[in-house]
Amino acid sequence: MEENSSLKRKRIIVYAGVCIIVIIALCIAAWGSGIGNAAWGMTKNKEISADEVIIPVSSSSSITYTSNMQKGGVPPGIYQGLIIKDLNGTFDPALAKSWDISADAKTWTFHLARDAIWSDGVPFTCADVKFTNDYMKSNNLTLAYVLTDVQSIDCPDPSTAVVTLKTSYSGFLDQISRQPGITISPKHFWESIPDPQHYEDKQFIGTGPFVFDQDTAGYVRLLRNDAYYGKKAQISGVVLKVITNPDSQVLALKNSEIDVVSDISPAVAKSLKGEKDIAMYTIKDTGAYEVAFNLAQYPANITGFRKAMSHAVDRDTISSLFGTGRPTETTFLIPSLAGRYVNPEDVGMYTYNLSTAREILKSAGFTWDGKGLLLGPDGNVVTLTIPLGTKGQASGGNQKIVSVLKNDWEKLGITLSTVSYDDQKQYKKAINANAVFLDSFPVTLHDDADALVNFAVTPTQKTNYYNYNNPEYNALVSTIRNTADQQEILKMAYQMQDLLARDIPTVPVCTSDTIVAYRSDRFTGWDLGPGYYSVTDPRVLTNLTPVK
Amino acid sequence: MIEVDAVSKYYTSGFFSRIRTYAVEDVSLSINRGEALGLVGESGSGKSTLGRMMLRLVEPSAGRVVFDGIDLRALKTPAMRQLRPRMQIVFQDPDTALDPRMTIGESVAEPLMVWQQGSRHERDDRVLELFAMVGLQPELADRRPFELSGGQKQRAALARAIVLEPEFIVLDEPTAALDLSVQAQILSLVQVLRKRMDLTLLFISHDLQVVEQMSGSVAVLHKGRIVESGRTADILHRPSHPYTIQLVEAARKSEEWFGKQRGNHGSGDEV
Amino acid sequence: MIDGHYLLRRIGYSGAAFFVCITITFFILHLMPGDYITNYLLSLSHTIPQEAVDQFYQQYGLDRPLGEQYIIYICNILQGQWGYSYQYGLPVFPMIMQKLSWSLVILLPAVLLGIIIGIVLGAWSGWRSGGKKDLALFNIMIVFRAIPEFWWAIMAVWVFAFYLQWFPLGGFTSISVLISGLNPWDVLYHAILPICLMTSFVATGNYYMMRNSMIAVIGEDYITTARAKGLDERAVLWRHALKNALLPMVTMTTFQVAGIIMGNVFIETVFSWPGIGLLTTDALRMRDLPLLEGIFLLDALMTIGAMLAADILASYLDPRIRMGDQ
C318 close to B (CB below 8 A): yes
CB spacing of C104 vs A254 below 8 angstroms = no
C319 confidence band (pLDDT: 50, 70, 90): low
CB spacing of A43 vs C183 below 8 angstroms = yes
* Cα C43-C47-C50 angle, rounded to 5 deg: 105
In chain C, the residue whose alpha carbon lies closest to the alpha carbon of A30 is C101
pLDDT at position B265 = 46
The fraction of chain A above a pLDDT of 90, given in percent, is 17
Chains contacting C with at least 3 CB pairs below 8 Å? Answer: A, B
Classify the C-alpha dihedral C86-C89-C90-C96 as positive or negative.
negative
A40 confidence band (pLDDT: 50, 70, 90): low
The answer to whether C84 touches C294, Cβ cutoff 8 Å, is no
Residue A82 to chain C, least CA–CA distance (Å): 19
CB spacing of B103 vs A4 below 8 angstroms = yes
pLDDT at position B3 = 87
Of A251, A424, A441, the CB nearest to C169: A251
CB spacing of C179 vs A47 below 8 angstroms = yes
User: Which of the residue ranges A388-397, B137-146, C175-184, C189-198 would you say has the lowest mean pLDDT?
Assistant: A388-397
Does residue A397 sit in the same domain as residue A439? yes
pLDDT at position C81 = 84
DSSP letter, residue A459: S
Non-local (6+) Cβ contacts of A74 within 8 A are A65, A68, A204
The answer to whether A474 touches A456, Cβ cutoff 8 Å, is yes
Of A1, A2, A4, the CB nearest to B127: A1
Write down all domains in chain B, each with its CATH number in brackets: 2-259 (3.40.50.300)
- Phi and psi dihedrals of A28, rounded to 5? -55, -45
Q: Give A41 or B220, the one with higher predicted confidence.
A: B220
Q: Which CB contacts under 8 angstroms, 24+ apart, belong to C52-60?
A: C52/A142, C52/A143, C52/A144, C52/A145, C55/A140, C55/A142, C55/A144, C55/A145, C56/A142, C59/A140, C59/A197, C60/C86
A 440-469 near C (Cβ less than 8 A):
441, 445, 454, 461
CB spacing of B91 vs C243 below 8 angstroms = no
Of B55, B93, B144, the CB nearest to C228: B55
Chains contacting A with at least 3 CB pairs below 8 Å? Answer: B, C
In tens, the pLDDT along B83-101 reads 888 888 888 887 788 888 8
A39 close to C (CB below 8 A): yes
Cα(first)–Cα(last) distance of chain C, in Å? 13
Distance CA A403, CA A506 (A): 19
Q: Would A86 be classed as within a structural domain?
A: yes
**pLDDT at residue A162 is higher than 90:** yes
- Phi and psi dihedrals of B229, rounded to 5? -150, 160
| Residue C313: C-alpha distances to residues A125, A262, B96, C319, C321 (Å) | 67, 53, 23, 11, 10
Chain A residues whose CB is inside 8 A of the B109 CB are: 1
Distance CA A428, CA C250 (A): 50
Of C37, C112, C162, the CB nearest to A255: C162
The answer to whether A335 touches A347, Cβ cutoff 8 Å, is yes
Indicate the SS3 state at residue A110.
strand
Does residue A90 sit in the same domain as residue A148? yes
Does residue A362 sit in the same domain as residue A233? no
Distance CA A123, CA A133 (A): 18
Q: Would A5 be classed as within a structural domain?
A: no
Does residue A408 sit in the same domain as residue A523? no
Distance CA A285, CA A283 (A): 7
B221 close to A (CB below 8 A): no
Chain A residues whose CB is inside 8 A of the C90 CB are: 66, 198, 200
A4 close to B (CB below 8 A): yes
Chain B residues whose CB is inside 8 A of the C233 CB are: 77
Distance CA C287, CA C308 (A): 31
User: Which of the residue ranges A228-242, A367-381, A388-402, A523-537 would you say has the lowest mean pLDDT?
Assistant: A388-402
Chain B residues whose CB is inside 8 A of the C319 CB are: 100-101, 144, 146
Indicate the SS3 state at residue A515.
strand
Does residue A373 sit in the same domain as residue A387? yes
CB spacing of B93 vs C320 below 8 angstroms = no
Chain B residues whose CB is inside 8 A of the C246 CB are: none
In tens, the pLDDT along A474-512 reads 898 888 888 878 888 888 888 988 888 888 888 888 888
User: Which of the residue ranges A242-251, A464-473, A536-545, C45-54 would you say has the lowest mean pLDDT?
Assistant: C45-54
Mutate to test the interface with C, among A85, A145, A506 (most CBs of C within 10 A): A145
The fraction of chain C above a pLDDT of 70, given in percent, is 96
Mutate to test the interface with A, among B101, B103, B140 (most CBs of A within 10 A): B103
User: Which of the residue ranges A336-340, A452-456, B122-126 would you say has the lowest mean pLDDT?
Assistant: A336-340
Non-local (6+) Cβ contacts of C24 within 8 A are none
Q: Which of A398, A401, A375 is nearest to A388 (CA)?
A: A398
In tens, the pLDDT along B140-152 reads 888 888 888 888 8
Distance CA C87, CA C85 (A): 5
Classify the C-alpha dihedral C74-C80-C81-C86 as positive or negative.
positive
The answer to whether B96 touches C221, Cβ cutoff 8 Å, is yes
Q: Which of B202, B215, B206 is nearest to B246 (CA)?
A: B206
pLDDT at position A442 = 64
Q: Would A377 be classed as within a structural domain?
A: yes
**Average pLDDT in the A109-119 region?**
92
Residue C317 to chain B, least CA–CA distance (Å): 9
Classify the C-alpha dihedral A353-A356-A362-A367 as positive or negative.
positive
Q: Would A429 be classed as within a structural domain?
A: yes
Distance CA C232, CA C217 (A): 17
Does residue A396 sit in the same domain as residue A306? yes
**Average pLDDT in the A134-147 region?**
86
> What's the pTM value of the predicted model, to 2 decimals?
0.79
Distance of CA B121 to the CA centre of its chain: 30
The fraction of chain B above a pLDDT of 90, given in percent, is 0
**Average pLDDT in the C269-283 region?**
85
B124 close to A (CB below 8 A): yes
pLDDT at position A134 = 92
Q: Give A441 or C294, the one with higher predicted confidence.
A: C294
Question: 3-state secondary structure string, chain B?
Answer: CEEEEEEEEEEEECCCCCEEEEEEEEEEEEECCCCEEEEECCCCCCHHHHHHHHCCCCCCCEEEEEECCEEHHHCCHHHHHHHHHHEEEECCCHHHHCCCCCCHHHHHHHHHHHCCCCCHHHHHHHHHHHHHHHCCCHHHHHCCHHHCCHHHHHHHHHHHHHCCCCCEEEEECCCCCCCHHHHHHHHHHHHHHHHHHCCEEEEEECCHHHHHHHCCEEEEEECCEEEEEEEHHHHHHCCCCHHHHHHHHHHHHHHHHHHHHHHHCCCCCCC
Distance of CA B123 to the CA centre of its chain: 25
ipTM: 0.82
In chain B, the residue whose alpha carbon lies closest to the alpha carbon of C219 is B96
The fraction of chain A above a pLDDT of 70, given in percent, is 88
CB spacing of B103 vs A2 below 8 angstroms = no
DSSP string for A344-404: GGGTT-----HHHHHHHHHHTT-EE-TT--EE-TTSSBPEEEEEE-STTTTTTHHHHHHHH
pLDDT at position A1 = 39
**pLDDT at residue A66 is higher than 60:** no
**Average pLDDT in the B178-194 region?**
86
Q: Give A518 or A16, the one with higher predicted confidence.
A: A518
Distance CA B24, CA B41 (A): 12
Q: Give A335 or A6, the one with higher predicted confidence.
A: A335
Indicate the SS3 state at residue A510.
strand
Whichever domain contains A83, its CATH number is: 3.90.76.10
Q: Give A446 or A28, the one with higher predicted confidence.
A: A28
Residue C56 to chain A, least CA–CA distance (Å): 7
A219 confidence band (pLDDT: 50, 70, 90): confident
Single-letter amino acid code for the residue at B39 = L
Q: What average pLDDT does chain C have?
A: 84
Q: What average pLDDT does chain A have?
A: 83
**pLDDT at residue C325 is higher than 50:** no
> C203: number of CA atoms within 13 Å, CB side?
21
Mutate to test the interface with A, among C177, C178, C280, C312 (most CBs of A within 10 A): C178
Does residue A157 sit in the same domain as residue A242? no
pLDDT at position B268 = 39
Q: Would A425 be classed as within a structural domain?
A: yes
DSSP-assigned beta bridge partners for residue C257: none
pLDDT at position B14 = 64
Does residue A135 sit in the same domain as residue A231? no
**pLDDT at residue C46 is higher than 80:** no
Does residue A333 sit in the same domain as residue A421? yes
Torsion, Cα of B49, B53, B54, B56 (10° steps): 140
Mutate to test the interface with B, among C139, C213, C217, C222 (most CBs of B within 10 A): C222
Distance CA C207, CA C126 (A): 9
Indicate the SS3 state at residue A94.
coil
pLDDT at position C324 = 46
Non-local (6+) Cβ contacts of B135 within 8 A are B155, B185, B189
B269 confidence band (pLDDT: 50, 70, 90): very low
Q: Would A18 be classed as within a structural domain?
A: no
Does residue A500 sit in the same domain as residue A536? no
Chain B residues whose CB is inside 8 A of the C244 CB are: 99-101
**Average pLDDT in the A415-425 region?**
82
pLDDT at position A508 = 86
Does residue A302 sit in the same domain as residue A411? yes
Chains A and B form CB pairs within 8 A to the count of 10
A152 confidence band (pLDDT: 50, 70, 90): very high
CB spacing of C222 vs B57 below 8 angstroms = no
The answer to whether A167 touches A79, Cβ cutoff 8 Å, is no
B104 close to A (CB below 8 A): no
**Average pLDDT in the C136-141 region?**
90
Q: Which of B39, A124, C212, A391 is nearest to A132 (CA)?
A: A124
CB spacing of C224 vs B91 below 8 angstroms = yes
Of C182, C282, C309, the CB nearest to A61: C282
**pLDDT at residue A267 is higher than 90:** no
Mutate to test the interface with C, among A147, A240, A251 (most CBs of C within 10 A): A251
Whichever domain contains A524, its CATH number is: 3.40.190.10
| Residue A378: C-alpha distances to residues A293, A299, A367, A374 (Å) | 19, 10, 10, 11
Does residue A177 sit in the same domain as residue A221? no
**pLDDT at residue A124 is higher than 90:** yes
Non-local (6+) Cβ contacts of C286 within 8 A are C36, C39, C40, C86, C87
**pLDDT at residue B129 is higher than 50:** yes
Q: Give A337 or B30, the one with higher predicted confidence.
A: B30
Cis bond upstream, residue A299 (ω within 30)? yes
In chain C, the residue whose alpha carbon lies closest to the alpha carbon of B78 is C232
Residue A154 to chain C, least CA–CA distance (Å): 25
DSSP string for C8-42: HHHHHHHHHHHHHHHHHHHHHHHHSSS-HHHHHHH
Chain B residues whose CB is inside 8 A of the A1 CB are: 105-106, 109, 123-124, 127, 141-142
User: Which of the residue ranges A9-13, B101-105, B266-270, C168-172 would you say has the lowest mean pLDDT?
Assistant: B266-270
- Phi and psi dihedrals of A73, rounded to 5? 75, 10
Q: Would A47 be classed as within a structural domain?
A: no
pLDDT at position A253 = 92
Of C47, C257, C317, the CB nearest to A14: C317
Query: How many other CB atoms are found less than 10 A from the CB of residue C52?
Result: 22
Q: Where are the domains of chain C?
A: 4-78, 95-313
- Phi and psi dihedrals of C3, rounded to 5? -85, 130
Question: 3-state secondary structure string, A202-245?
Answer: CCCCCCCCEEEEEEECCEEEEEECCCCCCCCCCCCEEEEEECCC
Of 3.30.465.10, 1.10.3720.10, 3.30.9.40, 1.10.645.10, which CATH number belongs to C95-313? 1.10.3720.10
Cis bond upstream, residue A180 (ω within 30)? yes
The domain of A297 spans: 285-511
Q: How many domains does chain A have?
A: 3
**Average pLDDT in the B116-129 region?**
84
pLDDT at position A112 = 93
The answer to whether A347 touches A530, Cβ cutoff 8 Å, is no
Q: Which CB contacts under 8 angstroms, 24+ apart, belong to C73-80?
A: C73/C26, C73/C293, C74/C22, C77/C22, C77/C297
Residue B245 to chain C, least CA–CA distance (Å): 33
| Residue B71: C-alpha distances to residues A177, B1, B201, B266 (Å) | 97, 12, 19, 45
C322 close to B (CB below 8 A): no
User: Which of the residue ranges A33-37, B59-63, C271-275, C284-288 would you say has the lowest mean pLDDT?
Assistant: A33-37
In chain C, the residue whose alpha carbon lies closest to the alpha carbon of B111 is C229
Q: Give C310 or A35, the one with higher predicted confidence.
A: C310
Q: Would A482 be classed as within a structural domain?
A: yes
The answer to whether A310 touches A507, Cβ cutoff 8 Å, is yes
